[in-house]
Amino acid sequence: MSTKDCSYETMEFPQELISFIDEWKIKPGSLIMILHKTQETFGYIPAAAAERLSRMTGIPLARIYGVITFYHFFKTTKPGKHRVSVCLGTACYLKGGGDLIEEARKILNIKPGEVTPDGLFSIDEVRCVGCCGLSPVITVGADTYGKLTKDQLPAIFDKYRNA
């Protein structure tokens, strides 16, 4: 069963996540920690998971969605298998980060928030990946690519298509 098709009553949480929520729900300011663990578990925060979190913690669903939508880190749609992050921090932006994100979306033929039809790629704008000396930078999963030009993007994406 996909997480998209289920309701909070049938949303399956692994025991590790349930234990984490039970431990953290009584601590002040725990919502962000719980959301991080939920996203780590599913790769994003499905609507049914947000509803179940509300019921398990007693935190109003509106507050949960308020936090999810405020922080760009949290995702409400399933990302691609390969999450491409384009740095738009000051150094990267000044050295062409904006051009990289436009070209990446053009190559993959996706708009912001979309996933390629094959489910392989999604693109996120990030504010800094901590590699300013390598700007402009993208990451694909845990791999970092620096001092990039638009011409290098097709080969990078092909590497992951063929993996």
Residues 70-129: tens digit of each pLDDT: 988 899 989 999 999 999 999 999 999 999 999 999 999 999 989 999 999 999 999 999
Which tokens is 93 given?
A: 């932006």
- CA dihedral sign of residues 160, 39, 17, 23: positive
The answer to whether the beta carbons of residues 120 and 161 sit under 8 Å apart is yes
Each domain of the chain, given as residue ranges in start order, spans 15-70, 82-161
Tell me the percentage of the chain whose pLDDT exceeds 70: 94
- What pLDDT is stored for residue 132 in this prediction? 94
| Cα 137 from Cα 77, distance rounded (Å) | 24
> pTM of the full predicted structure?
0.75
Residue 1 has pLDDT above 60, yes or no: no
Mean pLDDT of 26-51: 94
| Cα 25 from Cα 31, distance rounded (Å) | 7
Of residues 162 and 100, more confidence is placed in 100
Residue 39 has pLDDT above 90, yes or no: yes
Q: Which residues contact 122 (CB under 8 A, 6 or more apart)?
A: 79, 80, 82, 83, 84, 110, 114, 115, 116
The answer to whether the beta carbons of residues 145 and 151 sit under 8 Å apart is no
Torsion of CA 66, 68, 72, 74, to 10 degrees: 180
- What pLDDT is stored for residue 2 in this prediction? 46
| Cα 150 from Cα 122, distance rounded (Å) | 17
Which tokens is 134 given?
A: 């390598």
Mean pLDDT of 131-160: 96
Residue 136 has pLDDT above 60, yes or no: yes
The domain made up of 82-161 has a fold known as: Glutaredoxin (3.40.30)
